[in-house]
A and B are shown apart, each in its own frame.
Chain A
Amino acid sequence: MSIPLAWYLVLAAALFCIGLYGVLSRKNAIAILLCIELMLNAVNINLVAFWRYQNPAQMAGQAFAVIVFAVAAAEVAVGLALIISVYRRRKTVVADEINLMKW
């Protein structure tokens, strides 16, 4: 293994920041969820990289990566269900238009 840990970490950081940019700037709600998936993937990469490079015998890194998968799936499911429900009511998925909960 000749890849320094730093490369993985930087990659994860970059992926995370791209995801963050997407979350904050996309109009469509589904697109926001999409970008959240990118962020979660970045997290996963971090976890696995650290697992591999620090102590491969201790399965904590992978175990938690699995948990993150599960959580991501659940979150996507619920999020999309919500968006569809909102779409049915308000006929829109533009995040800025879903603003009933203002003052």
Chain B
Amino acid sequence: MTNWIIWLLPLPPLLAFFAIILFTNKNKPLSNGIAVAAAGLSWLGSMVVFIKAVGTEEFGLHVFESVINWLPTGETWLQIGVRIDPLSAVVLFFVAWTVLAIFVYSIGYHNFGQPKGDHDLAGLPPHGATVTEDGHTHIVPSIEPMYARFFAFISLFAFGMFTLVVSNNLLTLFVGWEIMGLCSYLLIGFWFGKETARDAAIKAFMTTRVGDVFMLLGIAFVYSFTGSLSYKDIFQPKMLQALAGTPAFFGLSAAGIIGLLLFIGTVGKSAQWPLHVWLPDAMEGPTPVSAMIHAATMVSAGVYMAIRIYPLLSLDAHTMTVVAFIGSFTALFAATIAVAQNDIKKVLAYSTISQLGFMIAALGVHAYIAAAFHLVTHAFFKALLFLDSGSVIHGMEHGVLQTGEHVDPQDMFSMGGLRKKMPITFWTFLIGGLALSGFPVLTAGFWSKDAIFAEAFAGGHLLVFIVLAVAAFLTAFYTMRQITLTFLGEGRTKAAEHASETTWTMTLPLVVLAVFAVGIGWVGMPAWFTGGLVPDWFHEFVGGTLAQAPEAVAFNWIPVATSLVVALGGLLCGWLVYRNVSVPTEDHLQIPLLKNKYYFDEIYAFLFVRPAGWIAEKFTSIYMDQIVIDGFLHSLARFSLFLGHAFRNYFDKPVINEFIGDGTGRTIKASGSGLRKIQAGRVQYYMVVSIVILVVFAFIYYFLKLGM
């Protein structure tokens, strides 16, 4: 029974996608109803599965698995199927909740129920509609023109994510992966009228593609080595031993190479350095998109896969080093950029990159449980933060429309004092921000970050520990900066003063997610804190996924103290510095290097984009295609034409026409003219001829005796 539910989990969003695209595109309420209902169904199924999973004793040994034979491959079958083990059960949990929350949020975000805009075009964000009430005209936010399409896309995306989570093999995981990549492209470029959005969509797709190519190579390698793609077969101890023992390229074992290749997929999908450039630009999409795809689910999918292949990764020390390096480097790198960003969503984007770096660094130092834990908590509070920022932007837009002021509703420096205007948003944002910073005890982020620090320190990876600590400090710092600039103080623009709270469809998901942001951490509290009263459920549950459950780390006060110091210290510093800053010029951290993201976009443009463009436009298009290939074809054509002419003029006309055609005619005519003189009509002439012939024959017959 449970297996049936698991199989059917991805189905409702897929059906919703087709229904909306094919049938209900024009009907906005029906479309969002179908989408939310589908998300709700999947959520329901996920909860049922999760509860069943949690209720099963020793779930790690009694996973829910169901396979079918799919592709015949010679003697055997390539099997695909679904599998819910402890890891995917918790991932399923947060995916279901965040997806449902975001679906509900999207209804309000796209201004359901508002009038159509004055001059809204499909492909551009809505600009507002003029409404006349009691003789008093004012502009209100207008409904999104492509409303139904949005829900179709996010339904398709949800389908992809669910497929990825429930799959038991790398193939269907990759299928879900790619579907999400496609939806990411579609959704980032949702407002396709904006050129920036179009470019961002292509950038996202291309960058993740780079990662995906390597991942596909890794999958191929896995298949060719092990003959199977399902987790059960790959992660069998004997298979792992064989993988570890076989040397492959570059001095790494087979396990190392495979792990590295698959990890590069994660680097692309989860926006780690060096493939991080797409995530900030992806903020061009609507905020629910940013929340769902680029905070809670898609980028989490990258980390999920990395955690999934941990048994493989951990076999090779070199690969683990690479993983740890990239994770920690990215965490610090992104955090430094985030402190200099002014756009509210960009800060959160870099924050996401940084936090993902935390998770991957955790994985790199063998902190399996900590990485998974941070994945879960981050999904909740980052989704919360993004949805909150969307709410803020909505409130600002409302203010902009009312006052007619031309400010960027996303620029933090034009906000301020919003805590009074948008209380629910403020409190939920505060909770989310504190969770992100790792505020002790009360927020989920504290427990997961602390777990990472503890494991890093205990494992002796001091460099990673220090880097992550600095990054955590910066995280708290820029989060407080963000909160201070946005909510605290007084409104810096008239639009900020006229901002108002958003509708319940937007604030309800915020509240729900805030509850999780606070509470989810308590399921993973380490034993030393509670003194054994509250078991570390998360550790036990998720630990069962691995063949050998990792041990809980013993208490050490250094990581705990570090995490407390960096969290609280960062928050304090942020508040202190920014409570008096009101314009960007007063902000001393607006260093050009940081503001321009270390010029990585420019570097990549120079190294990759321009040469690619040159190759496409100059080399292949003009040199190869027009000059070489077209030239060749044209010369073939000219040659054929020449041959044709030659044949016509030198063979057809003179030989066939003249010689054979006309020539025959002329010869016959001439010979006829000549021969007709024989028939002269003169009798004696005839007689002479006949007697001559008679004589000749007589001669032959009688005298030469021929014919005798």
A interface list, Cβ under 8 A from B: 20, 23-25, 32, 95-96, 98-103
Contacts and interface: CB of A to CB of B under 8 A. Distances in A.
Contacts of B684: 23-25, 32, 95-96
Contacts of B68: none
Interface string B655-692: 00000000000000000000010011111100110010
A23 B680 contact: no
Contacts of A103: 676, 679, 681
Contacts of B683: 32, 95, 98
Contacts of B676: 102-103
Nearest to B678: A103
A48 to B, nearest CB: 24
Interface in B567-620: none
A96 B688 CA distance: 13
B681 A24 contact: no
B679 to A, nearest CB: 5
A25 B682 CA distance: 12
Contacts of A96: 682, 684
Q: What is the predominant secondary structure among interface residues of chain B facing chain A?
A: helix
A35 to B, nearest CB: 11
B687 A99 contact: no
Nearest to A101: B681
B63 to A, nearest CB: 110
3 smallest beta-carbon distances between A and B, as pairs: A99-B681, A102-B681, A103-B676
Contact of B680 (A20, A24, A25, A102): A102
A94 B681 CA distance: 13
Contacts of B681: 98-103
15 contacts: A24-B687, A24-B691, A32-B683, A95-B684, A96-B684, A98-B681, A99-B681, A100-B681, A101-B681, A102-B676, A102-B679, A102-B680, A102-B681, A103-B676, A103-B681
A100 B679 CA distance: 11
Contacts of A24: 684, 687-688, 691
Contacts of B680: 99, 102
A102 B683 CA distance: 10
Contacts of A102: 676, 679-682
Nearest to A27: B684
Nearest to B683: A95
Contacts of B682: 95-96, 98-99, 102
Nearest to A29: B683
B153 to A, nearest CB: 93
A59 B333 CA distance: 149
B673 to A, nearest CB: 10
B679 A20 contact: no
Nearest to A25: B684
A25 B688 CA distance: 9
B199 to A, nearest CB: 91
A20 B684 CA distance: 11
Nearest to A96: B682
B477 to A, nearest CB: 122
B696 to A, nearest CB: 15
Nearest to B687: A24
A102 B684 CA distance: 13
A78 to B, nearest CB: 15
Contacts of A23: 684, 687
A32 B687 CA distance: 12
A97 to B, nearest CB: 9
Nearest to A20: B691
A80 to B, nearest CB: 15
Q: Which of A24, A25, A103 has the most chain B CB within a 10 Å cutoff? A: A103
Contacts of B691: 20, 24
A89 to B, nearest CB: 15
A101 B680 CA distance: 8
A57 to B, nearest CB: 31
B523 to A, nearest CB: 122
Contacts of A101: 681
Nearest to B675: A103
A32 to B, nearest CB: 7
B672 to A, nearest CB: 9
Contacts of A99: 680-682
A24 B681 CA distance: 14
A32 B688 CA distance: 13
B694 to A, nearest CB: 11
A83 to B, nearest CB: 12
Nearest to B680: A102
A40 to B, nearest CB: 15
A64 B676 CA distance: 41
Given A95-B683, A102-B681, A103-B679, 8 more contacts: A23-B687, A24-B687, A98-B683, A99-B682, A102-B676, A102-B679, A102-B682, A103-B676
A102 B682 CA distance: 8
A64 to B, nearest CB: 22
A10 to B, nearest CB: 17
Contacts of A32: 683-684
Nearest to A97: B682
Contacts of B688: 24
Nearest to B673: A103
A13 to B, nearest CB: 13
B699 to A, nearest CB: 16
B11 to A, nearest CB: 97
A82 to B, nearest CB: 12
A102 to B, nearest CB: 3
A20 B688 CA distance: 10
A101 B681 CA distance: 5
Contacts of A98: 681-683
A103 to B, nearest CB: 4
B526 to A, nearest CB: 128
Contacts of A20: 691
A97 B117 CA distance: 112
B623 to A, nearest CB: 74
Nearest to A99: B681
B215 to A, nearest CB: 95
Interface in B287-331: none
A26 to B, nearest CB: 8
